[in-house]
A and B are shown apart, each in its own frame.
Chain A
Amino acid sequence: MRFGLREVLREPGRFLLIGVAVSLLIGLVVVFSGIGTRHVDDLNGAVARSSADLLVLASGAEGAVQASRVDRADIESLIALPEVLDARPVGEARVGGRIDGALYDLSLWGIGPEGPGVAPVIEGRAAARDGEAVIDVADAHLGLELGSTFEVADTGERLTVVGFTEGRRFASIPTVVVTYAQWERTLDAVFADADGVEPALIAIELAAGHTPVDAIAAISDLDLPIIAEVPEVLAANLPGVAGTRASFASATLVALIAVSAVTGLFFLLGLTYRRKTYEVLRALGAPRGLLIRALIAQATVLVLGASLVGGGLVMIAAALAPPRVPLSFSAGLLGQVTVTALLVTVLSTLVAIRRLRRIDPAGALVVDP
């Protein structure tokens, strides 16, 4: 171990260069994983973390909440099922919002105030009356706090923030939850020439003793143009979610392969260029195990140091990135990436270790041409 570390100290330039390269690669892995997770959360958090047991949407919407409008009369048919304890309408629509003078596209959700689907708040309380709104804590940077107000730009109506949710954004835009009655009123005002407003979803609470599978089958048997899904399943099938997840997972995997390839090459070339030194060491009686342990120690120090630097870089980037870039630092994620990087690095040094084991002490006596 000490031998390996001394070698690092004797050649700081070489290790610094590879260290910076691996730091950037580990930083990339952390960024890919972090952005991928945040991006998916921003796309579907409001659906994935719904407190409803099941969500019902229009079958013609093909799983897209945005494209779903269900007939409110269907709620009666759903409540009549023995598997269903309660069913409530849930609205979702895009409206304009003016916050601190700036215009934003908002995803306006109408839920509750009672029944399934009501979003739990982490601060303040749920919206219970007209004029009250709950926003996601990720949108607080827009200048919203408990008690502050903002305007629905299309109607001029002002809403007061009474609570914050967490991880419940939708479609990667600021997400606002109001009571269903408030949502209906707002939509009526936005689309003044419309005949009526229909909910996008129906949130269902199952009766005791019934499973989601039973209820989904029973709802399907109703032969209505609706389909029921568990929130997590519906969220995973929302437009863009699978593609985003697969894209960032692939990028993470490729970056990990790059970590492995770069460190593997570094140690292999180092061994090739310094073969004579190792032959002399072996000739002087240094056991193979010592040299192998030194190599593994160097790889470990390299990855740990690179993880620290890479993590620091991500922290700085997350602090400097504008709020709309979904970049955040997570120590847990860095830990996972570090462990994975350590594993792939040790694996990548196997070729170098194999070559180290074959070093012949007699080679020390051979004079290179």
Chain B
Amino acid sequence: MNGRAVALGLTELWRTPGRTLLTAGVLSVLLFLTLTLAGLADALDRGSTGVLRSLDADIVVFNEEARLQLLRSRVPRPMTLGAAFVDGVAQVGTLALVPTSAETPNGRVRVTLVGFSATTPAEPTTLVEGRLPVDGEPGIAAVDVALRSHGVRLGDRLVLAGEREVEVVGFVEDSTFLQQPTVWVPPDVWARVQVSAFPEAGFAEQLVGATVIRTRPSADPTGVAVAIEAEFEDLQAVPLRQAVLAIPGVDVQRRTFAVLVAMSVAVLSLVVGLLFALLVTERRSRWATLRALGAPRELLVATLLVQGVVLWMLALVGGSLGTALLARVVPDAMPLDLRLPVVGLVGIASLVATVVGSSVALGRVARTDPAAAMSEGAR
């Protein structure tokens, strides 16, 4: 029966190509809206959080006054060293950020300078070309691949904050912070730029930004974080996921866009419901004839389901193509990106919405009484 349902459903759609394409087109627009929202949310989120997500770390430690803000954190160096002796800690690194600018071949751009200690959990794991700087190496940097669009290539020299020159020796991907590309340098380079940009911030070589910790495989990161806080009362230690959520705007953005995406999926469900209700009304007598000729209820329900799934597939392809095209034409300032996991997630949600939306119509088809429907048709 499955084969017959597929054949019948596809034949019906094939015989009314105009209507099929029109319906798929409208559903495509709704999926285009949903995917655009989901793509925006995903790109905004990833653009803000890359710097932390690119680390292979379990815990981030801030000074208490920083309230989990990477740009403000100033952990005294002795405390960083002390954290290495807390039970469950496998390795400790330092990570420090400062907003600055970089002179690229295509002009000056805003960047976030990241001072990190090499071969520690503070090292980015997303190197795609070249190598990372090592501690104490003067005038060397790895940069985010986002700077390639500004003409930056391996071996180029960037001028940071209008005065400090560094040579690009590597590219890392997906490591942006608050939508800005990052430039990864040894801690002493960061310290010099920090002191020069923010004289009030104090002697930066003694203050190391945040401390990044990898725990032993057997240790529970939350428990280790509690132990660190108990040991050092001026520090605040949180699992990496919580530090990501504390990046300005991330939490609110996630909540806001989740509601907006849910609303557009609900609209999709309603529109599918409406389309199928109209479809069932129009074809009621035809299906009653089929029932009178011996077609089982299940065949008609399966036929309608097949049509729903085919329309959903066409709409998903159309919506994805539209969003991918939009992502290509929008200006660089607009963070829109369409990744397969996002398409997959929206695809599943929209398939559920399609099935839910068509469920009322499916119920009506299942209850089709051949005699009554045919007599209505005759009238």
Instruction: Give the residues in chain A near B330, CB-CB below 8 Å.
Output: 246, 250
Q: Is B199's CB within 8 Å of the partner chain A?
A: yes
Alpha-carbon separation in the docked complex, A195 to B273 (Å): 68
| B333 / chain A contacts, CB cutoff of 8 Å | 242-243, 246
Q: How far is the CA of A195 from the CA of B203 in the complex (A)?
A: 10
Chain B, residue nearest A171 (CB): B248
List CB contacts (< 8 Å) of A160-211 with chain B: 171-173, 187-188, 190-191, 193-198
Pairwise interchain contact B110-A257, C-beta atoms closer than 8 A: no
Known contacts: A258-B29, A258-B267, A269-B275. The answer to whether A250 contacts B252 by CB under 8 A is no
A20 to B272 CA separation, bound complex (whole angstroms): 13
**Binary CB contact string for chain B from 36 to 63 against chain A (1 if under 8 A, 0 otherwise):** 1100100010000000000000000000
Q: How far is the CA of A239 from the CA of B180 in the complex (A)?
A: 8
Q: B301 → chain A, closest Cβ, in Å?
A: 20
For the complex, give the distance between the alpha carbons of A93 and B375 in Å: 79
With an 8 A cutoff between CB atoms, is A154 at the interface? yes
Interface of A is mostly: helix
For residues 55 through 82 of chain A, which have their beta carbon under 8 Å from a beta carbon of chain B?
59-64, 66-67, 69
Instruction: Report whether A96 and B65 are in contact in the complex, using a CB–CB cutoff of 8 Å.
Output: yes
Please state if A273 and B270 are interface contacts (CB–CB under 8 Å): no
A190 — which chain B residues lie within 8 A by C-beta? 200
Chain A interface size range: 35 or more
Q: In chain A between 18 and 62, which residues have their CB closer than 8 angstroms to a CB of chain B?
A: 18, 20-21, 24-25, 27-28, 31-32, 35, 59-62
Closest residue on chain B to residue A31 by CB atoms? B260
Q: A194-B201, A254-B36, A258-B267 are in contact. Are A62 and B22 (CB under 8 A)?
A: no
Collect the chain B residues with CB atoms within 8 Å of residue A273's CB: 278, 281-282
Chain B hits for A28, CB < 8 A: 33, 260, 263-264, 267
Chain A CB within 8 A of B153 CB: no
B22 touches A105 (CB 8 A): no
| B266 at interface by CB-CB < 8 Å | yes
B25 partner residues in chain A, CB cutoff 8 A: 261, 265
List residues of chain B with CB within 8 A of the CB of A191. Answer: 200-202
Interface segment out of the listed B67-75, B134-142, B208-216, B225-233? B67-75
A272 touches B19 (CB 8 A): yes
Look across to chain A and name the residue whose beta carbon is closest to the beta carbon of B203: A193
Choose among B30, B161, B199, B281 the residue that contacts A60 (Cβ–Cβ < 8 A): B161
Is A94 among interface residues, defined by CB-CB distance under 8 A?
yes
- Asked if A270 is an interface residue, CB under 8 A from chain B, the answer is yes
Residues of B within 8 A of A153 (CB): 65
**A324 is an interface residue with CB less than 8 A from chain B:** yes
Measured between alpha carbons, how far is A194 from B206 in the docked complex, in Å?
Answer: 13
B178 at interface, CB cutoff 8 A: yes
Contact B263 A24 (CB under 8 A): yes
A247 touching B334, Cβ below 8 Å: yes
B110 and A67 within 8 A (CB) = yes
**Chain A CB within 8 A of B256 CB:** yes
Q: Given A67-B99, A69-B198, A196-B199, are A269 and B278 also a contact pair (CB < 8 Å)?
A: yes
Q: What is the minimal beta-carbon distance from A347 to any residue of chain B, in angstroms?
A: 14
- Knowing A257-B29, A261-B26 are in contact, say whether A251-B37 is a contact too (CB < 8 A): yes
Chain A residues within 8 Å of B180, by CB: 239
| A243 and B335 within 8 A (CB) | yes
On whether the beta carbons of B335 and A247 are closer than 8 Å, the reply is yes
Decide: B22 and A194 in contact? CB cutoff 8 A: no
Given known pairs A94-B71, A196-B200, A273-B281, the reply for A255 and B270 (CB within 8 Å) is: no
How far apart are the CA atoms of A325 and B254 in the complex, in Å?
Answer: 11
Contact (Cβ within 8 A) B162 A254: no
Closest partner residue, chain B, to A246 (CB atom)? B334
Residues of chain A contacted by B71 (CB below 8 angstroms): 66, 94
A268 within 8 A of B: yes
Within 8 A of A (CB), among B324-347: 326, 330-331, 333-336
Q: Is the CB of A194 within 8 A of B202?
A: yes
CA distance A70 to B71 in the complex (A): 20
| A60-B162, A69-B198, A172-B248 known; A240-B179 Cβ under 8 A | yes
Which listed residue, A25, A67, A105, A262, touches B101 by the CB 8 Å rule?
A67
Q: Which of B67, B101, B110 meets A103, CB within 8 Å?
A: B67
A150 contacts the other chain (CB 8 A): no
Is B146's beta carbon under 8 Å from chain A?
no
Closest Cβ of chain B: how far from A197's Cβ, in Å? 5
A254 and B32 form a contact (CB under 8 A) = yes
Does B19 lie within 8 Å of A325, measured CB to CB? no
CB-CB < 8 A to A261: which residues of B?
Answer: 25-26, 29-30
Q: Which of B30, B274, B278, B333 lies at the interface centre, i.e. has the most chain A CB atoms within 10 A of its CB? A: B274
Whole-angstrom CA separation of A59 from B37 in the bound complex: 35
Contact assessment for B256 and A325 in the assembled complex, using a CB-CB cutoff below 8 Å: yes
- For B72, list chain A residues within 8 Å (CB): 94, 105
- Cross-interface CB contact of B200 among A198, A268, A317, A325, cutoff 8 Å: A198
Mind listing 20 A-B residue pairs with CB under 8 Å? A17-B274, A17-B277, A24-B266, A24-B267, A28-B264, A62-B110, A66-B99, A67-B110, A103-B67, A105-B72, A194-B202, A197-B200, A239-B99, A242-B334, A243-B335, A246-B331, A261-B30, A262-B26, A265-B26, A266-B274
18 additional A-B pairs beyond A264-B26, A324-B252, beta carbons within 8 Å, are A17-B277, A18-B274, A21-B267, A24-B267, A60-B101, A67-B101, A188-B200, A194-B199, A197-B200, A242-B334, A250-B40, A250-B330, A254-B29, A257-B32, A261-B29, A261-B30, A262-B267, A262-B271
